[in-house]
Structure 1
Amino acid sequence: MGNEAIAGDAQRKKVIGKLSLLFLMAMIGLTFFSNTINNFTLPRVQTARPTNGALIKEIFGEGTVEVKSTREEYADANLRVKEVMVEQGDRVSKGQPIIILDVNELKSNYQDEQARYRQLQLSLAGAREEQAQKQRDYDNLKYLFDNEAETAVNLQNAEKNLVDAQRNCEDIQLNLEIQARKVDTLAKQVANNGVYTAPVDGMITELNFAQGSMTNNSLPLFKLADLRQGFRLIVPIDNDLVDYVKPGDTVSVNILSLGDKRTEGKIDKIVENSQHNGEEKDLWIDVSLEGLTGGEKGEIYLSKKTKPYANLVPNSAVYNDSSGSYVFVLESRKGPLGRSNYLQKVEVNVEDSDNEKSALTDMVMGEVVMQSNKPVEDGDRVLKEAAN
């Protein structure tokens, strides 16, 4: 009996041991299986370490080509247009007739104004003789008055007459000068028989009066682009990009309306944008390209390096909320089944950025999350994946 009891007890212990082992193995298996399933549900993230270096500022813009220098020709008198010799857009040579005005009536006016000028000359000569006589009268009365042979009233009247004669001479002299300028202007208009020519080689960009119409001096007869002076492309850019460009910088230029012809231009000036003053500035870019006439649409590209930064992270690593900017730093912690990765939210200040990276003023230690397959929060456990 004793041996049988001992054998039975040993058998029970053996069974219990096997069951315990099976239970332990089952628990380990369930724990591993549960952990594996949990891993499939964890957010998967890709990370990057902060680097140092410069940002690349890329400047794009579109604008319009214009001629640097434009000449305007005005008619000094309102005359009827006799003939228009060119059309808008025509290229012309220096001295080529552009527009002819009817000066027949002007010639008659010129003769009348010449006669008026001669009349004023005669009037001035007579006024000067009268002034000389008034001066003599005053001198004689002054002599008599000094010798107590004339009254003060008569001397005062003589002085007044002399002042009036001097003022009359001055008025006639001014009218004569005005008349001289008028005659000179008419003489020039009559001399060219109403033919207005191109002052330089160039292209007609504006014609304001058709044949048979009357001119007025509020508008030029024509505008002429002086092609010898070259062209500029005017491109507006945001004020926050102005610090990265300066006169003398070379830019890549693409003229869209010339079949995407490409060339290089040089920034000549940076001026305020008249339509968005305080928000934008205009780049004046010198360009030279065969076929330009003004009015073409063009685009530019320019890349410039910023100053070096000590802490650069991908733009996708920077998040924003109502309290500011932050990044998620990957933190490794040891657990019962090995090490696991958790997220730590770190607030940061972004000093500058380009199309790919952001420069942080705060030093960030460790890897930052730049991509996640699902939304994440501070303290989340995540799986780290290799970056593509």
Structure 2
Amino acid sequence: MNALEENEKTGRRRLMGKATVIFLAVILLLTFFSNSINSFTLPKVTYETAASGALIKEVSGTGKVEAKSFHDLYVKSSMKVTEITVKVGDTVKQGQKLLTLDTSELENQIKDEQDKFAQLELSLEKLLDTGEKLKEAGSPQSLLNLDKAVELARQSVEKAGRNYEDSKSLYEMGAAAANELADAKTACENANTEFEIAKNNREKALSDNKRDIENNKRDIETTRLNISIAQRKIDELRKQAGMSTVSAPCDGIITELYYSEGMTANSSQPLYKIADAKGGFQFTAAVDISAAEYIEPGDEAELTISSGNRTIKGVVSQLKDNQQQMGVKKNVLIDISAEDLMGGESGTANIKKGMGSYRTLVSNSAVGQDNDGNFVYVLKERKGTLGNEFYVEKVIVNIGDSDNVKTAVLSGVTSADKIVSDSDKPLSDGSRVRIAE
């Protein structure tokens, strides 16, 4: 009986031992799977180590090819386009016929202006003749009668004065009556009045003559000016009438024709626009104003022209404000030299600019920014329940320049640090992570 009980106890102990082992195994297995499942939910990161190197800023912008120099021609009078011998895109030589204009209306205008010109010349001739007569009227010979009248009036004053003095003496002696003295006095006053009138007539004649001469001179100058204006108008009309055949002013490419045959050309827009082939071409690219800070005249550029997928070398000539996007974009003007350009071709400009060498460079994606400043996440390793595990540590860094790929780190990390460059989930200081395969 004792042996039987002992066997039962031994069996129970063995059973409990096995159960304990199984329980512990299950716990371990569940813990393993739990950690494994949890690890799959951790952010997956890639990392890099900082390296030395050079930063190369690459600036790009889209734009169009433009001729540096254009020629166009406006007509001052309306004229009908009777023939066009070229089309947009044609290459032309200096002196080549482009189009013809109907100048018959101008010929009629020239005749009308010539008639007006002849009338003005007749008016000038009459004014010159009048001027000569006015000069004669103001000559000493012409004033002789007026001078005689003044002299006679003066003599009359003297005679009347003597008669008055004689009458006064006789009256005082009682040899003349009072009425005789009064008559003598009246005669004296009348003589003085006539003398003043004679002098005034002479002065007025001189003043009127002087005024008429001045007016005549002004009329002559005005008429001569009008004749000069009329002559210039005739010359201009003749010049326009000579435009019946319009020729190319230079070697170049027709970029615009503003009229078609049968239309009436006027001064509101030119007849044509020609890109001067000898003047060269330039590419105007719009770039972000922040990127434009790295560009300066003399920098080399590579242009990719959309049509034909051509690549052309160029040199930056100047930077200008972009009038459509002030404060946002800058226009970069790039001188180019290439054949078969006509202007208007669109494309992209790429400018690479060396920014110096640095000891510590990291990917731009590795650098973040918050209220504390710029930072990176450094990958760390520690012992965990089932072995080593990885986590990240947030490190504040001082950064310098950056290009399109790399950023220079001036302090905060070393070349031995493993710096997180990418993560499939947001990170924070101390976050556990797993490393991407």
Same fold (TM over 0.5): yes
Query: What CA RMSD, in Å, does the superposition of the two structures yield over aligned residues?
Result: 3.9
Residues 150 and 313 from structure 1, CA distance in 2 versus in 1: closer, same or farther, beyond 3 angstroms? farther
SS in 2 for 1:228: helix
Amino acid at match of 1:62: T
Matches for 1:259-338 after TM superposition, within 5 Å: 259-309=308-358, 311-321=360-370, 324-330=373-379
Q: Would you say the 8 A contact 1:331–1:344 is kept in 2?
A: yes
Q: Which runs of 5+ in 2 are unaligned?
A: 1-16, 152-195
Q: What's the counterpart of residue 9 of structure 1?
A: none
How many angstroms does 1:80 deviate by?
2.3
SS in 2 for 1:244: coil
- Say yes or no: does 1:380 pair with 2:431: yes
**Counterpart pick for 1:164 among 209, 215, 224:** 215
Q: Would you say the 8 A contact 2:398–2:412 is kept in 1?
A: no
Question: Scaled by the length of structure 1, what TM-score is found?
Answer: 0.76
Residues 84 and 338 from structure 1, CA distance in 2 versus in 1: closer, same or farther, beyond 3 angstroms? closer
How many angstroms does 1:260 deviate by?
1.0
Residues 88 and 330 from structure 1, CA distance in 2 versus in 1: closer, same or farther, beyond 3 angstroms? closer
Question: Residues 8-31 of structure 1: CA distance to partner in whole angstroms, max 9, x if unpaired?
Answer: xxxxxxxxxxx9xxx9xx99x96x
How many angstroms does 1:306 deviate by?
1.3
Amino acid at match of 1:328: Y
Q: What's the counterpart of residue 227 of structure 1?
A: 277
Question: Residues 79-138 of structure 1: CA distance to partner in whole angstroms, max 9, x if unpaired?
Answer: 222222322332222222222222223223223322322332333343344445546656
Amino acid at match of 2:376: V
Partner Cα separation in structure 1 for residue 378 and residue 350 of structure 2: 36
Question: Residues 123-157 of structure 1: CA distance to partner in whole angstroms, max 9, x if unpaired?
Answer: 33433444455466567699999x99744655554
Question: Residues 178-233 of structure 1: CA distance to partner in whole angstroms, max 9, x if unpaired?
Answer: 112111112223345x1111111222222223333322111112222222222222
Q: What's the counterpart of residue 369 of structure 1?
A: 420
Amino acid at match of 1:102: D
SS in 1 for 2:264: coil
Q: What's the counterpart of residue 211 of structure 1?
A: 261
Q: What's the counterpart of residue 105 of structure 1?
A: 105
Number of residues paired by the alignment? 359
- Say yes or no: does 1:87 pair with 2:87: yes
Q: What's the counterpart of residue 237 of structure 2?
A: 186
How many angstroms does 1:264 deviate by?
1.1
How many angstroms does 1:333 deviate by?
6.6
Q: Which runs of 5+ in 1 are unaligned?
A: 1-18
Q: What's the counterpart of residue 59 of structure 1?
A: 59
Residues 82 and 373 from structure 1, CA distance in 2 versus in 1: closer, same or farther, beyond 3 angstroms? closer
Amino acid at match of 2:355: T
SS in 1 for 2:293: helix
Q: Would you say the 8 A contact 1:311–1:363 is kept in 2?
A: no
Question: Scaled by the length of structure 2, what TM-score is found?
Answer: 0.69
Q: Would you say the 8 A contact 2:85–2:97 is kept in 1?
A: yes
Bigger Rg, structure 1 or 2: 2
Greater fraction of residues in helix: 2
Q: What's the counterpart of residue 176 of structure 2?
A: none
Q: Would you say the 8 A contact 2:376–2:420 is kept in 1?
A: yes
Partner Cα separation in structure 1 for residue 61 and residue 296 of structure 2: 15
Partner Cα separation in structure 2 for residue 135 and residue 158 of structure 1: 8
How many angstroms does 1:37 deviate by?
4.5
Partner Cα separation in structure 1 for residue 296 and residue 138 of structure 2: 73
Partner Cα separation in structure 2 for residue 241 and residue 139 of structure 1: 85
Percent pairwise identity: 37
Question: Residues 277-329 of structure 1: CA distance to partner in whole angstroms, max 9, x if unpaired?
Answer: 22111122222333222222222222111144554322222234466542223
Partner Cα separation in structure 2 for residue 376 and residue 64 of structure 1: 44
Amino acid at match of 2:246: Y
Larger displacement relative to structure 2 (244-253 or 38-47)? 38-47
Partner Cα separation in structure 2 for residue 196 and residue 378 of structure 1: 77
